[in-house]
């Protein structure tokens, strides 16, 4: 898909195609449509990131709260969005043993209790060992820093999803 | 459900229960959770409205773009959210004749082309004749005024949905 195609989309098509670039937040794609035309992929990415950056803190936390746990109930039940399913599978989170799953669930619960949002990570850039060690590390970060880190991961996930949709090279990230 | 119950919810439960108070915008419920505890239903309603009010205009338009057309394809295909399905049925939009459906589709398309978002109305407070006449009237309003009107309808829909969820009296609206 090229940018002329993207720029010619009505908002219905745009939200259908880009609505899950930010997990379960079609509102953001729908808002970004106001900024068309986009000059290129980087411009489109920048518009998604800029919208996230201008939200009040509660809205930024809200974005994070729309994300599923990594290796959580939704992965086991098969109720993840297609994008999350693919990303969590790519990190090998479907193949975890019972003990690893239990340990990850425990750390996820501690993280949620401490920060008030779930642990978000661009899983497909990592393997399951890295997911676990990142979670254990970030669990002890100061809250303001952790919010920034988590939003950075949301943006990375969004960039990778945009590159998938536009057929661009994900290795450039 | 009383406010103590609401105030004791973790964000996962809160988003599951209130995620569609604003149509297809779980991000907003997830953001509102940051403002707990809520003193009463009016306070909870006010938090949803306040979040909408502080969004940049593109975000407010984005909320509207997450709404389905009234009596549109999704109603016919049965792919509306449960809440929208109920509301559009209550206005009698499922029982329209072919000619009325054609006329409404035409006006909806004109409205979308003029304003860049779909026609949004708290349908369950109206019958199909009132939906049609309101659409014909609002189609000619100045864009800035129409954005305010449409967001007012979004808030009314949200208030009614909140009252449904909390078992409060919708007649007080």
ipTM of the complex: 0.94
Q: Which of B12, B26, B61 sits opposite A24 (nearest CB)?
A: B26
Q: Which of B47, B67, B126, B138 is catalytic?
A: B67
Q: Name which of A98, A165, A110 is nearest A135 in CA terms.
A: A110
Would residue A140 show up in a list of annotated catalytic residues for this protein?
no
Considering the domain boundaries, does residue A40 fall inside one?
no
CATH number (domain holding residue A79): 1.10.3330.10
Same domain, B120 and B53: no
Give chain A's contact residues with B (Cβ, < 8 Å): 10-12, 15, 24-35, 51, 54-59, 61-66, 112, 116-117
- Pick the catalytic residue from A28, A41, A67, A166: A67
pLDDT bin (cut points 50, 70, 90) of residue B94 is confident
Percent of chain A with pLDDT over 90: 86
Considering the domain boundaries, does residue A31 fall inside one?
A: no
How many angstroms separate the CA of residue B106 from the nearest CA in chain A?
16
- B26/A66 CB distance under 8 A: yes
Q: Are residues B94 and B136 in the same domain?
A: yes
Interface mutation vs chain B, best among A10, A31, A56, most B CBs within 10 Å: A31
Under an 8 A CB cutoff, do A112 and B10 touch? yes
Does the pLDDT at position B47 exceed 90?
yes
For residue A163, the tally of other CB atoms under 10 A from its CB is: 17
Of the residues B41, B61, B81, the one at which a domain ends: B61
Domain holding A78, by residue range, is 69-147
Least confident window among A45-49, A168-172, B1-5: A168-172
- The band of A168, judged by pLDDT with boundaries at 50, 70 and 90, is confident
Q: Given B31, B56, B66, which is nearest A26 (Cβ)?
A: B66
* d(C-alpha B25, C-alpha B96), whole Å: 28
Closest to B58 (Cα-Cα) out of A152, A48, A105, A40: A48
Number of domains in chain A: 1
B28 and B80 co-located in one domain: no
Does the structure show a pLDDT above 80 at B45?
A: yes
* Cβ distance of B30 and A66 shorter than 8 Å: yes
List % helix, strand, coil for chain A (3-state, nearest 5): 70, 0, 30
Please check whether residue A12 is in contact with residue B43, taking contact to mean a CB–CB distance below 8 angstroms: no
Whether pLDDT at B18 is above 60 = yes
Is residue A25 included in any domain, yes or no? no
CB A48 within 8 A of CB A55: no
- Examine the domain organization and report whether B76 and B51 are in the same domain: no
Which H helix or E strand runs over A15?
helix A11-18
Q: Are residues B53 and B77 in the same domain?
A: no
Domain endpoint, select from B44, B61, B78: B61
Inter-chain touch B11–A65, beta carbons under 8 Å: yes
**With pLDDT > 70 as the criterion, what percentage of chain A qualifies?**
97
Indicate if B51 and B84 belong to the same structural domain: no
B80, B149: one domain: yes
């Amino acid at each position: 898909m090229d940018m002329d195609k993207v720029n010619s989309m009505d908002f219905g098509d745009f939200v259908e195609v880009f609505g899950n670039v930010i997990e379960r937040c079609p509102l953001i794609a729908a808002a970004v449509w106001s900024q068309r035309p986009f000059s290129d992929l980087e411009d489109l990415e920048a518009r998604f990131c800029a919208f996230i950056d201008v939200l009040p803190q509660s809205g930024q936390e809200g974005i994070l709260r729309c994300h599923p746990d990594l290796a959580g109930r939704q992965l086991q039940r098969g109720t993840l969005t297609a994008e999350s399913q693919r990303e969590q599978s790519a990190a090998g989170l479907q193949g975890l043993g019972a003990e690893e799953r239990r340990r990850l669930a425990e750390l996820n619960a501690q993280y949620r209790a401490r920060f008030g949002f779930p642990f978000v990570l661009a899983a497909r850039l990592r393997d399951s060992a890295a997911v676990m060690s990142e979670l254990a590390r970030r669990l002890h970060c100061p809250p303001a820093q952790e919010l920034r880190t988590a939003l950075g991961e949301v943006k990375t996930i969004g960039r990778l999803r945009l590159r998938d949709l536009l057929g661009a090279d994900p290795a450039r990230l």
